[in-house]
Structure formats: structure tokens, C-alpha cells
């Protein structure tokens, strides 16, 4: 094993996995928000609720689409640079990764396609069911990934045959405390990310005195009221993980605490158990990651508590421009917290890729330094381009606001039916029309429910009185 190859491979994995993780956080949280919004819209039948689904759903789809590409790139580099891990532990990790692939790339993507192209085509209940299937499969996908990661951090349910790890107790692997606690932490963190994202985008439009003040006022409140409980749940699962760290990875706990005597004791214990070697992870990365995560948590806690109070007052939601600026600036905080927490979790495990069973230096592929440098340059460039593209698309759509074109836009041929809303027609046409006075009736039915050309109240809200 060449040390340069090992360092470059670790750096490549950190950049690609960390970059993909940023997409997953927003996708998982925003999908849940969109599903809840659509549930409300399905029952209420209010135009404003439906428009909220389409706007936030469009942002979700953009992030999901680019995130899928980053996931494929990450898996490619993983197979190239870490063949030793698949050789030694593939019998255990292969099953969970295969199930995750089936769930994410077949079930989830299929139903997401039905949801995207099913607007105005599927029954409203079938369309609602499609987005909930997408959300549930997203959670299942995240769970299976964390089953694999949980085994790396706290291996359980395994045996050994011919020097290779084999699956001995599937139930133990699936109920691994390291995986379950991380799953709760990640899900809550994803909802927190979505809440800050919604609040920040809404604050931008309210700061600009957008005519869509009711739309973004409601969205801002949703984001703020979602962020507070999500932050608390995230903190609870994070605290429990800290509590069990002494039992799972005592060296990581000692390094985080900065206890020199404890570090020396654990080093001696591991040396006696596994032979000579340096079992102390990088203190800068391990402690630094944890401290940045805790600082971000403290900042978000103050913002969430203050936000809940401020959002309770309608005038403050629309007029407090300083708060709007703070909410816009706070959008990156959940991302920074999640990435730094991930750095703490992964760096603190070193020098193990499977804790206590397989060292990182034994898992890296047999590549030349030149090949590894080329690989790192290519994958880093691809990820930077994808991240910039995603940020540009999200910013572009978020700044445009809830326009009629885009997700959910009815592109079916229109007839002569009039009426705004769900006017009933007699004959073969349903008489329903849009705000431009064009209907989708195909027969002789005439629509009722408004005169052609009358704008929807949700599209022409009066400006607030500042």
C-alpha cells in the first residue's frame, strides 16, 4: 500500500460521499414537506395549496435529479478505489447496498416519474399516493445505506470463513444500534435542512416585497415551525450516539474529549489486542468536525426558538426585514452541521474502515499514485460542476417564484369550456377551465364556477399594507 494512494483515495471518498450527502439531506426533507402539502391540497381543493405543492415540488425534483447523478458517480469511484472492502466484507455489505439500489433506482424513481407526469392525468388520490410512496421509499433507501454504514462503525451479526466476513445474524445487522440511531439523526436533520431552506427562500421573496406575500408568508411559517422540532429530535439522537460512543468506539470518544491519559490507555489496549500500530485518528478532523457541528447546532437553536416566537405574529412575518436577512443567511447552517457531523463520524473511526476488523490501508485498491491523482481530479471536477449546476437551477427557480409553467402545468389540449375552477358540465366535457378562461371540456358541456378570464384569487392577492 502506497501512502499517497491511501491519502488520495480517502480524500476522494470524502469529497464525493460528502457532496452526495448534501443532496440527500434536502431531497429527503423536502420530499416529506411536499407530500404533506399535497395531502392538505388534496383535501382542501384550494388553489393556493396546490400552487405550494407545485413550487416546492419543482425545487425537490431539481435537487433529486442532480443528486441521482452524484450518487452514480460516488458509487463508481467507490468501486474503483476500495476494492479491498468489497473483497473482505462484500458478503455483508452487498445485500444492503443491492436492496438500496433496487429501492432508490427502481421503486422510488418509478413512482416519482408517475408523480411528475401524472398531474392532470391520474386521479387525485392516486397522485397523492404516488408522492407518499416516493417519500417512504426514500426513507427505506436511507435506512439501507445506514445499515451498511452502521456495520462499518459497529460490526455485528458477522462470522468469518476463509478470512472473509460473512453474514451470520441478519436481524442483528438490521437492528444495529449504530444504524438505527444514525437513521433517526439523519431523518430529523433532513427535515431541519428542508425547514431552513423553505424559510430562507420565503424570506427572500418577503424581503423583496413580493406580490405573492400570502404564499411565502405561509411557506415561511411552515419552514420555521418545522425547523424547531426537527432540531430537537436531531439533538436527541445525536446525544444518544454520544452516550454510546464509549462502548462502540472508545478512541473516538477519548479524542473528542481531549483526554490525553484516556487516549494513551486506549492506544495501549488496542495495541495489545490488534498488534503494533497508530490507533489514534486525526485529532484536528475528529474534534474539529464535532465542534463545528455543535456550534452550528447552538446557532440554529437560537434561531429556531426566536423564529417560533416571531412567526406567531403576522405583521412580523411580512415586515421584519432584518429577520428575513437572517433567515436567508442561515440556509447553509444545516448543511455545515451535517457535513461536519459526518466528518466526525467517519474520521474518528480511523484507522479502521470496518471498526476492529479491517484497516483502511488494507481496503484501498492497488492503484498507482498517478492513476489516483487523475481519478481525484476527474471526480472532483464532475462533482463541482454538478454542485454549481444544482445551485444555479435551485436559485433560478426559487427567484422566479410560483409561476404557472413548470411542474403540474396542464398541457392537455384545451376546449371552449369557460369557468374558473371546478365548474360542472353536462355532456362529455367536465367544463373545468383555467384562469385564462380556457377549459378542457371535450363535449358540449358548459362550465360554471366563474366567468372566462377571471383570475384566481390566489394568483392576484392584494399587496400587504406596510
Q: In this predicted model, what pLDDT tens digit does every residue of 372-388 receive, in sequence order?
A: 999 999 989 999 999 99
Q: Is the pLDDT of residue 39 over 80?
A: yes
Look up cell 360542472; give the residue.
424
Question: If 0-12 CB within 10 Å is exposed, 13-18 middle and 19+ buried, where does residue 43 land?
Answer: exposed
Task: Tell me the per-residue pLDDT of 312-342, one tens digit each, with 9 for 90 and over.
Answer: 999 999 999 999 999 999 999 999 999 999 9
51-65, 187-201, 318-332, 429-443: the lowest-pLDDT one: 429-443
Neighbouring residues of 97: CB distance < 8 A, sequence distance ≥ 6: 144, 145, 148
Distance CA 242, CA 248 (A): 10
369 within 8 A of 4, measured Cβ to Cβ: yes
Phi, psi of 418 (to 5 degrees): -100, -160
Query: What confidence score (pLDDT) does residue 106 get?
Result: 84
Q: Is the pLDDT of residue 436 over 50?
A: no
Cα 316 to chain centroid, rounded: 30
Query: What confidence score (pLDDT) does residue 133 get?
Result: 95
Task: Tell me the per-residue pLDDT of 234-292, one tens digit each, with 9 for 90 and over.
Answer: 999 999 998 899 889 999 999 998 889 999 999 999 999 999 999 999 999 999 999 99
Average pLDDT for 358-363 = 91
Q: How confident is the model at residue 102 (pLDDT cuts 50, 70, 90)?
A: confident
Task: Tell me the per-residue pLDDT of 123-139, one tens digit each, with 9 for 90 and over.
Answer: 999 999 999 999 999 99
Q: How confident is the model at residue 355 (pLDDT cuts 50, 70, 90)?
A: very high
Query: What confidence score (pLDDT) does residue 423 get?
Result: 35
Q: What percent of the chain has pLDDT over 70?
A: 87
Distance CA 46, CA 44 (A): 5
Distance CA 290, CA 377 (A): 28
pTM for the full model? 0.84
Question: If 0-12 CB within 10 Å is exposed, 13-18 middle and 19+ buried, where does residue 143 land?
Answer: buried
Neighbouring residues of 422: CB distance < 8 A, sequence distance ≥ 6: 45, 432, 449
Phi, psi of 166 (to 5 degrees): -130, 155
Query: What confidence score (pLDDT) does residue 97 get?
Result: 85
Average pLDDT for 102-117 = 87
Query: What confidence score (pLDDT) does residue 413 get?
Result: 61
Q: How confident is the model at residue 412 (pLDDT cuts 50, 70, 90)?
A: low
Question: If 0-12 CB within 10 Å is exposed, 13-18 middle and 19+ buried, where does residue 55 land?
Answer: buried
Q: How many CB atoms lie within 10 A of CB 102?
A: 14
* Mean model confidence pLDDT for the chain: 85
Distance CA 464, CA 14 (A): 47
Query: What confidence score (pLDDT) does residue 52 get?
Result: 94
Q: Is the pLDDT of residue 427 over 50?
A: no
β partners of residue 164? 161
Amino acid at each position: 500500500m502506497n501512502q499517497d494512494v491511501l491519502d488520495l483515495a480517502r480524500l476522494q471518498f470524502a469529497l464525493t460521499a460528502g457532496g452526495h450527502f448534501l443532496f440527500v439531506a434536502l431531497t429527503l426533507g423536502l420530499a416529506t414537506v411536499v407530500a404533506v402539502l399535497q395531502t392538505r391540497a388534496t383535501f382542501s381543493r384550494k388553489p393556493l395549496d396546490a400552487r405550494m405543492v407545485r413550487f416546492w415540488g419543482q425545487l425537490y425534483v431539481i435537487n433529486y435529479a442532480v443528486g441521482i447523478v452524484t450518487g452514480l458517480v460516488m458509487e463508481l469511484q467507490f468501486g474503483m478505489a476500495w476494492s479491498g472492502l468489497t473483497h473482505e466484507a462484500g458478503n455483508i455489505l452487498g445485500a444492503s447496498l443491492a436492496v438500496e439500489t433496487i429501492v432508490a433506482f427502481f421503486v422510488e424513481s418509478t413512482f416519482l416519474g408517475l408523480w411528475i407526469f401524472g398531474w392532470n392525468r391520474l386521479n387525485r388520490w392516486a397522485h397523492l399516493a404516488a408522492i407518499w410512496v416516493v417519500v417512504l421509499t426514500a426513507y427505506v433507501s436511507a435506512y439501507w445505506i445506514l445499515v451498511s454504514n452502521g456495520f462499518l462503525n459497529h460490526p455485528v451479526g458477522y462470522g468469518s470463513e476463509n478470512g472473509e466476513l460473512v453474514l451470520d445474524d441478519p436481524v442483528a445487522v438490521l437492528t444495529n444500534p449504530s444504524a438505527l440511531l444514525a437513521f433517526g439523526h439523519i431523518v430529523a436533520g433532513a427535515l431541519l435542512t428542508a425547514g431552513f431552506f423553505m424559510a430562507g427562500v420565503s424570506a427572500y421573496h418577503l424581503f423583496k416585497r413580493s406580490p405573492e406575500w400570502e404564499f411565502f408568508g405561509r411557506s415561511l411559517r411552515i419552514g420555521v415551525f418545522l425547523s424547531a422540532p426537527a432540531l430537537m429530535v436531531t439533538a436527541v439522537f445525536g446525544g444518544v450516539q454520544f452516550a454510546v460512543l464509549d462502548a462502540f468506539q472508545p478512541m473516538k470518544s477519548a479524542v473528542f474529549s481531549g483526554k490525553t491519559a484516556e487516549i494513551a490507555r486506549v492506544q495501549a489496549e488496542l495495541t495489545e489486542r490488534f498488534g503494533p500500530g497508530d490507533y489514534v485518528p486525526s485529532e484536528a478532523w475528529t474534534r474539529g468536525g464535532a465542534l463545528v457541528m455543535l456550534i452550528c447546532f447552538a446557532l440554529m437553536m437560537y434561531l429556531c426558538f426566536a423564529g417560533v416566537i416571531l412567526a406567531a405574529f403576522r405583521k412580523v412575518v411580512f415586515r421584519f426585514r432584518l429577520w428575513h436577512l437572517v433567515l436567508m443567511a442561515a440556509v447553509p447552517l444545516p448543511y455545515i452541521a451535517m457535513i461536519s457531523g459526518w466528518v466526525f463520524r467517519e474520521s474518528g473511526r480511523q484507522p479502521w474502515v470496518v471498526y476492529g476488523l479491517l484497516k483502511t490501508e488494507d481496503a484501498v485498491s492497488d492503484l498507482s499514485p498517478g492513476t489516483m491523482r487523475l481519478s481525484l481530479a476527474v471526480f472532483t471536477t464532475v462533482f463541482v460542476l454538478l454542485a454549481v449546476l444544482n445551485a444555479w437551477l435551485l436559485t433560478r427557480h426559487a427567484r422566479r417564484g410560483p409561476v404557472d409553467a413548470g411542474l403540474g402545468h396542464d398541457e392537455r389540449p384545451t376546449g371552449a369550456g369557460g369557468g374558473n375552477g371546478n365548474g360542472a358540465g353536462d355532456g362529455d366535457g367536465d367544463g373545468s377551465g383555467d384562469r385564462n378562461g380556457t377549459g378542457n371540456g371535450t363535449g358540449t358541456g358548459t362550465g360554471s364556477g366563474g366567468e372566462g378570464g377571471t383570475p384566481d384569487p390566489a394568483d392576484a392577492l392584494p399587496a400587504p399594507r406596510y
